[in-house]
């Protein structure tokens, strides 16, 4: 399976999420989490930090990521690895390809006219809500 990751980044306030407007397929023009491909032989956690740095300028010193879950899509041969973390400090975002934005957690992430993933975003965030105290230790 081809591995890709997404990174759920919470602002320090815990109320906003870092998201991007996709410039490429899949989900071109839709709002999604940042992330990307895991290179062959690359450690999956290192890949999540690398993609986060490349796409946003957020480095390991800015956030502690926790591996939350995986999704396997057998028909397409993809495995999606999901990481989550909350910023330790304010950062200056650096856009690579996709435009970046902070989105309030109260948004309807099942609105498929705006958000990628057919409600997967909301499902992931509900999992974060369940384990918030364990996940968000800075």
Quote the pLDDT of residue 103. 98
CA 41 and chain centroid, separation? 21
Query: What CA–CA distance (Å, rounded) separates 111 from 128?
Result: 19
Q: Residue 52 — φ and ψ, nearest 5°?
A: -60, -45
Quote the pLDDT of residue 107. 97
Q: Which CATH superfamily is domain 2-135 in?
A: Nucleoside Triphosphate Pyrophosphohydrolase (3.90.79.10)
Domain ranges of the chain: 2-135
Quote the pLDDT of residue 89. 95
Q: What is the DSSP string of 113-126?
A: TTBSSTTHHHHHHH
Per-residue pLDDT of the chain (138 residues; tens, 9 = 90+): 999 999 999 999 999 999 999 999 889 999 999 999 999 999 999 999 999 999 999 999 999 999 999 999 999 999 999 999 999 999 999 999 999 999 999 999 999 999 999 999 999 999 999 999 888 765
The distance in angstroms from the start CA to the end CA of the chain is: 32
Query: What CA–CA distance (Å, rounded) separates 110 from 67?
Result: 23
Q: 58: buried, middle or exposed (CB in 10 Å: 19+, 13-18, 0-12)?
A: buried
Quote the pLDDT of residue 4. 97
Quote the pLDDT of residue 82. 98
pTM exceeds cut of 0.85: yes
Per DSSP (E only), the strands in 1-138 are 2-10, 16-21, 31-32, 34-37, 66-73, 78-86, 99-104
């Amino acid at each position: 399976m081809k591995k890709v990751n997404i990174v759920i980044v919470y602002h320090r306030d815990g109320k906003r999420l870092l998201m991007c407007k996709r410039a490429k397929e899949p989900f071109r023009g839709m709002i999604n989490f940042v992330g990307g491909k895991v290179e062959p032989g690359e450690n999956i956690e290192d890949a999540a930090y690398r993609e986060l740095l490349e796409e946003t300028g957020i480095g390991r010193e800015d956030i502690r990521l926790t591996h939350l879950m995986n999704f396997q899509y057998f028909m397409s041969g993809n495995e999606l690895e999901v990481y989550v973390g909350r910023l330790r400090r304010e950062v200056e975002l650096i856009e690579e390809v996709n435009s970046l934005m902070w989105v309030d957690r109260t948004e309807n992430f099942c609105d498929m006219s705006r958000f990628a993933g057919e409600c997967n975003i909301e499902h992931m965030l509900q999992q974060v809500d369940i384990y918030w105290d364990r996940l968000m230790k800075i």
